[in-house]
Amino acid sequence: MSLKATIFAGLVLASSANLALACEKPTLPALPDAATAVTPQMIKAKNDVKAFVSSAETYLKCGISTKQHNRTVGQMQKLAKDFNSIVRAYKARLAG
């Protein structure tokens, strides 16, 4: 196999692997309990939510079925609602 063919095959495999990873359904992150959470847990949760949303947006572009699309969008909306409720409760708890 020539050097060009080897490089091309490697690039195809690498891009296929990246595409396959991008089209995996993302896993919902665990959210902390607002009644006991500390600041580092809230920051981690915020970062996990952002990562989930980014992965989910990529997943939605993968040509999935309408049912999968709607389920993923529903999960994104529920996660956002749940996280916002936790943030409000956490801030209220800190305000005393």
Question: Cα 85 to the chain's mean position, in Å?
Answer: 19
Of 11, 36, 19, 72, nearest to 45 (Cα)? 36
pLDDT of residue 3: 61
Domain count, the chain: 1
Has residue 3 been placed in a domain? no
Of 26, 74, 50, nearest to 42 (Cα)? 50
Has residue 65 been placed in a domain? yes
Count CA atoms within 13 Å of residue 69 on its CB side. Answer: 7
Select the more confidently predicted residue: 21 or 88: 88
Has residue 70 been placed in a domain? yes
Question: 96 pLDDT band (50/70/90 cuts)?
Answer: confident
Has residue 16 been placed in a domain? no
pTM (2 d.p.): 0.74
Has residue 5 been placed in a domain? no
Select the more confidently predicted residue: 2 or 53: 53
pLDDT of residue 47: 98
Q: Quick check: 57 and 69 in contact, CB under 8 A?
A: no
Has residue 6 been placed in a domain? no
